[in-house]
């Protein structure tokens, strides 16, 4: 569970960082007067990085959901069997 939490925090940081870097690069290139095709060619690798991190989320969310369901089941079981001997 700790690995999942660390993975979530790291992924969130990397996704925000990639998004900001991509937008800054696009704005800087627009100010330089590049065309849309040149802009897409120049930001190709940054776009791939951003898409890879977004794909990580597709794996991370189901794992988080599974841990959440297990946690809820554990809490319910504790209350159901509290006085059981």
What are the CA-CA distances from residue 27 to residues 32, 46, 49, 69, 70 (Å)?
A: 9, 14, 18, 43, 45
Residue spans of beta strands (DSSP E) within the chain:
none
Section 16-38 average pLDDT: 86
- Report the mean per-residue pLDDT for the chain: 88
Spatial distance between the Cα atoms of 39 and 55, rounded to a whole number of angstroms: 23
- Give 60's contacts (C-beta < 8 A, 6+ positions apart): 4, 7, 8, 11
User: What is the pTM (predicted TM-score) of this model?
Assistant: 0.65
């Amino acid at each position: 569970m700790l690995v999942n939490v660390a993975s979530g925090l790291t992924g969130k940081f990397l996704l925000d960082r990639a998004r900001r870097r991509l937008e800054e690069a696009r704005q800087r290139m627009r100010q330089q007067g590049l065309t849309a095709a040149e802009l897409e060619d120049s930001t190709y690798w940054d776009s791939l990085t951003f898409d890879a991190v977004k794909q990580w989320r597709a794996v991370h969310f189901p794992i988080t959901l599974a841990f959440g369901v297990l946690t809820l089941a554990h809490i319910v079981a504790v209350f159901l069997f509290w006085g059981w001997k």
